[in-house]
Amino acid sequence: MSRQRNEFWLYFTLASAAGLAGLLLIPVVLLLILESLPLLAPAALWESLTSAAWHPRAGEFGLLAMMVASLLISALALALAAPLGILYAVWLNLYLPRRWTNRLRPLQELLAGIPSVVYGLWGLVVLVPMINSYAPPGASLLAAVLVLALMILPFSALVTDAALQAPIRHRMSAAQALAVSRWGTFRRVLWPEARATIIGGIVLQFGRALGETLAVVMVAGNVVQFPGSLFDPVRTLTANIALEMSYATGTHHTALFLSGLVLMLITLILMFQINRRGVAI
């Protein structure tokens, strides 16, 4: 075969693969839109998005309470896990002796591969009773936040750790030569350089927290209401889909797909913001 033909076929194959990958998003979004079409009429849509009453049997499909719960849980879990993850990575890299660091790193990667069911089970069996002894019922916003934070922690630590490697390699010796303290090295030398990557990676975890289903179903209480306090049970959009998908028909089915579409939209906007700021992930 001639060289040009080889090269053409190569280009063709690779471009088709890339085309397939690039077009993958479209069926997903399209399917969500198609399945939630009946509820996309302006009046019904507004009703769904602003009402907090979720009573499928009576025809009320208000998503507001669940949207608030989803966003609140994810934001709080992120607020808890991000600083801890960053500080943990700093501790690993700057304060711990090298031997211990090398032994602890595999732990993070291992924990990143645990199914969410396991976290949920631990929450159900250990965390919820603990919270229950302070404030019944135990399965609450707080439990969901803690379990989610636990799930995000390994990833935040991994991301920060990876992001810190390059600045450490380049600048650590200079900082040590200048007798900068360890905390000072982090704050003044490493953080400015790694900040963009770290923040980008951590914001990705928000998306992951938003999408967490099984663990939340087990510990959040699943009552559709606005949380009045940290100890009130709540239901997230994802938990709602998981609980009711198998049992839904007609408009109920459509409402569940609508909540999936809402989740998708939040992700779309989030990713757009990240990409726009040019953060390397």
Partner 1 sequence: MPLKRKPQAYGINYLSGNQLPLARAPPHTPRGKAGTQLAVCVTKLNWRTLFINYLQQLPMKLVRTLLPAVLTCAIAACRPAPTNELVITGSSTVAPLVAELAAAFESQHPGWRIDVQSGGSSRGIRDVRQGLADAGMISRALATDEQDLITHTLAIDGIALIVHADNPLKSLSDDEIRRIYSGDEQTWSALGGHNRPITVINKAEGRATLKVFLAHIELDNRVVEADLIAGENQQVVETVARDPAAIGYVSIGTAKYEMDNGASIKLLLLAGYEATVANVQAGDYPLSRPLNLVTRNEPNEDLAAFMKFWRTPEATEIIQRHYFVPATE
Partner 2 sequence: MTIDRRDYGGFVLCSVAGITVIVPLVWMILALAQSGLPGLEWEFLVAAPSQSGRAGGIGPMIVSTALILGVCLAAIIPVGLGTSLYLSQYVSSTSPQASWLGYSLDVLAGTPSIVFALFGYQFFAITLGLGFSILAGGLTLACMTLPLMVRTSEQALRAVPLELHQAGEALALSRPGMIWHVLLPAAMPGIVAGTILSIGRALAETAVLLFTAGYVMRLPGSLLDSGRALSVHIFDMAMNVPGGMPVASRTALVLLTLVILINIGVRRMLLHHKRIYYEQTN
Residues 54-93 that bind partner 1 (CB under 8 A): 55-58
E strands, the chain, are 54-55, 60-61
Among 51, 52, 244, 279, binds partner 1 (CB under 8 A): 244
Residue 91 or 122: the one with the smaller Cβ distance to partner 1 is 122
CA 82 → CA 44, 199, 209, 213, distances in Å? 38, 9, 12, 20
Q: Contact between 35 and partner 1 (CB under 8 A)?
A: no
Q: Contact between 221 and partner 1 (CB under 8 A)?
A: yes
Among 66, 131, 190, 256, binds partner 2 (CB under 8 A): 256
Please give the single-letter amino acid code of residue 238.
Answer: T
55 phi and psi angles, rounded to 5 deg: -135, 85
- Determine the Cα–Cα distance for residues 214 and 216; give it in Å rounded to an integer: 5
Q: How far is the CB of 230 from partner 2 (least distance, A)?
A: 18
Residue 58 or 68: the one with the smaller Cβ distance to partner 2 is 68
Among 129, 230, 268, 272, binds partner 1 (CB under 8 A): 129
- With 0-12 / 13-18 / 19 or more C-beta atoms within 10 angstroms meaning exposed / middle / buried, residue 52 is middle
For residues 135-194, which are near partner 2 according to CB under 8 A? 150, 153-154, 157, 181-184, 186
Q: How far is the CB of 29 from partner 2 (least distance, A)?
A: 9
Q: Contact between 137 and partner 1 (CB under 8 A)?
A: yes
For residues 204-223, which are near partner 2 according to CB under 8 A? 204, 207-208, 210-214, 218
DSSP 140: S
Q: Contact between 118 and partner 2 (CB under 8 A)?
A: yes
- Determine the Cα–Cα distance for residues 247 and 40; give it in Å rounded to an integer: 22
- With 0-12 / 13-18 / 19 or more C-beta atoms within 10 angstroms meaning exposed / middle / buried, residue 49 is middle
By a kind-dependent CB cut-off of 5 to 8 A, residue 50 interacts, out of partner 1, partner 2, none, with none
Q: Contact between 13 and partner 2 (CB under 8 A)?
A: yes
Q: Contact between 151 and partner 1 (CB under 8 A)?
A: no
Phi-psi region of 53 (alpha: psi -120 to 50; beta: other; left: phi over 0): beta
Q: How far is the CB of 239 from partner 1 (least distance, A)?
A: 8
